[in-house]
Amino acid sequence: MTDTLSLTQQLISRRSSTPDDAGCQALMQERLAPLGFRFETITSNGVINLWARRGEASPVVCFAGHTDVVPSGPLDQWHSDPFTPTIRDGILYGRGASDMKASLAAFVTSIEDFVARHPGHTGSIALLITSDEEGSATDGTVKVVEMLAARGEKIDCCIVGEPTCVAQLGDTIKNGRRGSLSGRLTVKGIQGHIAYPHLVRNPIHQAAPAIAELAAIEWDRGNAYFPPTSWQISNIHGGTGATNVVPGTVEIRFNFRHSTASSKDSLKTRVHEVLERHGLEYDLEWEESGKPYLTPRGSLVEAISAAIKEVTGLDPELSTTGGTSDGRFIADICAQVVEFGPMNASIHKLNENVPVAALEPLRAIYLKTLEKLLSQ
């Protein structure tokens, strides 16, 4: 029983379904307080956030993560209680095991080891922890970032503990994420009896050519780190349910997952140009849920890549695939943000798990990264 395994089990046993922290942050504070950290708790609409820092100087190396987990789902389909950490055949099962309580535990134990070895280290160590990553993410990390920005406090390097690895620990680092821009388009027509087409204007028929054009557009070609921007429809709603009525409106919901090669404004402009060219009468509401960000090769990527190589023997792949993460908020005050954590194959699934054998290497990778960045 290692310290990292023990702490992971303690965190899993706390029923921290989003946005409930369930005492996870208090447990982490208990471990870090003897090391000289100072703590600030930021609460917002029932969400608990923690900013912890040891040291006053730069560079500031931050570990970021979340204590909240997604709902467990049907309990009768779990092989053991999702909040009773259980080891079977070398695998630790429990909700949040890989997303992301193993990383939180490894944050703490790596910091404990680092401070013991380097009590007079350069720079500062920080943690930014929220209980609102799996939910709406409106009262979590973004609130801490706003607080830090208001007082001019910056982060130099940030490691987000999201589960990034695919086949084995160390194979993948996320060094950026695509932005997410959604639209709700309502195309207006004239409702009427389907047998009298000269008295109606079918908005579905009118929208179809514009949809075809939007689907065929090459928005950009991506770049060295990002795939091309993607435009996808997620929902189309139109009609009254009757088979003899032409609807008065059709609603189309779509989403861009876009790289740094396109801005939200350029994408919006091009969509409106298509709709106007097709002569549509429409309303279009936009929502940005995440800005794209990218950390190219530099001190942080090189440090964590070298640490992974030393611990696992692997040369990690840099990737920007997947959905959004809280890195999108942290990038506003931090020039270098990466994500690295355990395997992601079981996240959000029934019987979520993490190999016990991955926990100590994960701690060692975080420790060696700290040593490369702060013990020079």
Contact predicate 348/99, CB 8 Å: yes
- Token couple for 243: 């088979």
Is 99 annotated as a binding-site member? yes
Is 66 annotated as a binding-site member? yes
Nearest by Cα to 335 from 126, 157, 125, 189:
157
Rounded to an integer, what distance in angstroms lies between the CA atom of residue 57 and that of residue 68?
30
Is 302 annotated as a binding-site member? no
- Does 133 participate in catalysis according to the annotation? yes
Per the residue annotation, which of 133, 326, 339, 352 is the catalytic one?
Answer: 133
Per the residue annotation, which of 20, 21, 68, 326 is the catalytic one?
Answer: 68
- Does 68 participate in catalysis according to the annotation? yes
Contacts of 189 (CB under 8 A, 6+ apart): 200, 201, 202, 203, 204, 206, 246, 247, 248, 249, 250, 281
Is 134 annotated as a binding-site member? yes
Is 348 annotated as a binding-site member? yes
Residue 295 amino acid letter: T
Contacts of 187 (CB under 8 A, 6+ apart): 203, 204, 206, 207, 249, 250, 252, 280, 281, 282
DSSP 245-262: EE-SEEEEEEEEEE-TTS
Output the CA–CA distances (angstroms, integers) from residue 93 to 103, 189, 363, in the order listed. 15, 54, 19
Contact predicate 330/316, CB 8 Å: no
Contact predicate 311/366, CB 8 Å: no
- Residues designated catalytic: 68, 133
Annotated binding site: 66, 99, 134, 162, 348
Annotated binding site for Zn(2+): 66, 99, 134, 162, 348
